[in-house]
Amino acid sequence: MIISIVGGTGNLGKGLAVRLALAGYKVVVGSREEEKAKAKAKEYSDLCGCKIDGLVNERAVDVCDVAILTIPWKNALDFVRQYKESLSKRIVVSPIVPMVKEGEFVYKPPNSSMAESIASILGDKVVSAFHNVPAKRFSNLNETPEFDVVVCGDNEDAKAVVMEIVNSIERLRALDGGPLSNSRIVESLTPFLINLASRNGMRELGVKFV
Ligand SMILES: NC(=O)c1ccc[n+]([C@@H]2O[C@H](COP(=O)([O-])OP(=O)(O)OC[C@H]3O[C@@H](n4cnc5c(N)ncnc54)[C@H](OP(=O)(O)O)[C@@H]3O)[C@@H](O)[C@H]2O)c1
């Protein structure tokens, strides 16, 4: 299975690329610039000792079975409209959290949740996951944090594939979060976690249900 990480050159993309490659998946890092994609793919390959490829986003989407969209929320809907034809044939994972800083961080979805907005363009193979995974801790291979990942989606087959991907990563546990409409709850937890950390002198909080 090929997993492409669109905008995988950023914070969350790095952790996903190296940990999914370590789990045995073929991983492609996507970028708007081919050279940047290749440079980051080499950096990540050196970090984890696995082969990771880099391609421009459009090609990265074309070659994959599963596309994880690690791009800023403000650009996400334009991106999925632009690559709708190819993306709608694939399982698309949204970890995207629409939030703004108004003193503290505030959840500001465009209309419904970000995941539902993407699904309104791409169809039902959109699954949401990874919203509450703090990127810097996740990409530090010297640390193996234990987090739960709530996975929401309306297509049960696509959701099962994404849960298997999550569970392949050491010390992540996938939990079935129900329909895609529950994404708004999971997305909104991220600004809450950032504010909670800031108020309590903590950093990079994730979630674990016990
Ligand atoms: N950071 C976290 O801890 C975290 C945790 C959970 C979820 N998330 C979500 O994951 C997503 C990525 O977060 P991040 O922190 O990794 O973001 P980031 O580092 O700021 O950006 C990720 C990548 O997005 C690409 N990008 C920037 N502007 C773009 C545009 N106009 N169109 C298309 N691509 C563009 C860039 O790649 P190129 O320049 O190479 O194209 C960049 O490397 C966000 O939606 C965020 O809400 C983040």
What is the 144 CA–ligand 1 centroid distance (Å)? 22
- Rg of the chain over Cα atoms, rounded to whole angstroms, equals 16
Helices 183-199 and 114-122, interaxial angle, to 10°?
150
Q: What is the pLDDT of residue 132?
A: 98
Instruction: Tell me if residue 97 falls in helix, strand or coil.
Output: coil
Our mutation pick for probing the ligand 1 site, out of 11, 44, 58, 189, counting the most ligand atoms within 8 A of Cβ, is 11
Q: Could you give the CA distance from residue 114 to residue 51 in angstroms, rounded to a whole number?
A: 32
- Phi/psi zone of residue 162: left (φ > 0), alpha (ψ -120 to 50 degrees), beta? alpha
Instruction: Tell me if residue 179 falls in helix, strand or coil.
Output: coil
Q: Could you give the CA distance from residue 157 to residue 107 in angstroms, rounded to a whole number?
A: 29
Per the CB < 8 A criterion, the answer to whether 193 and 131 are in contact is no
Domain range annotation of the chain? 2-199
Q: What is the pLDDT of residue 7?
A: 98
Residue of minimum CA distance from atom 25 in ligand 1: 7
What is the 69 CA–ligand 1 centroid distance (Å)? 8
What is the CATH T-level fold of the domain 2-199, as seen in this structure? Rossmann fold (3.40.50)
First to last CA, the chain: 32
Q: What is the pLDDT of residue 145?
A: 86
Q: What is the pLDDT of residue 167?
A: 98
What is the 173 CA–ligand 1 centroid distance (Å)? 23
What is the 7 CA–ligand 1 centroid distance (Å)? 6
pTM of the model as a whole: 0.98
Q: What is the pLDDT of residue 161?
A: 98
Tens digit of pLDDT at every position of the chain (210 positions)? 999 999 999 999 999 999 999 999 999 999 999 999 999 999 999 999 999 999 999 999 999 999 999 999 999 999 999 999 999 999 999 999 999 999 999 999 988 999 999 999 999 999 999 999 999 999 999 988 899 999 999 999 999 999 999 999 999 999 999 999 999 999 999 999 999 999 999 999 999 999
Pocket of ligand 1 (CB under 6 A): 7, 9-13, 31-32, 36, 70-73, 75, 79, 95-97, 130-131, 133-135, 190
Q: What is the pLDDT of residue 99?
A: 98
Within a 10 A sphere around the Cβ of 133, how many other Cβ atoms? 25
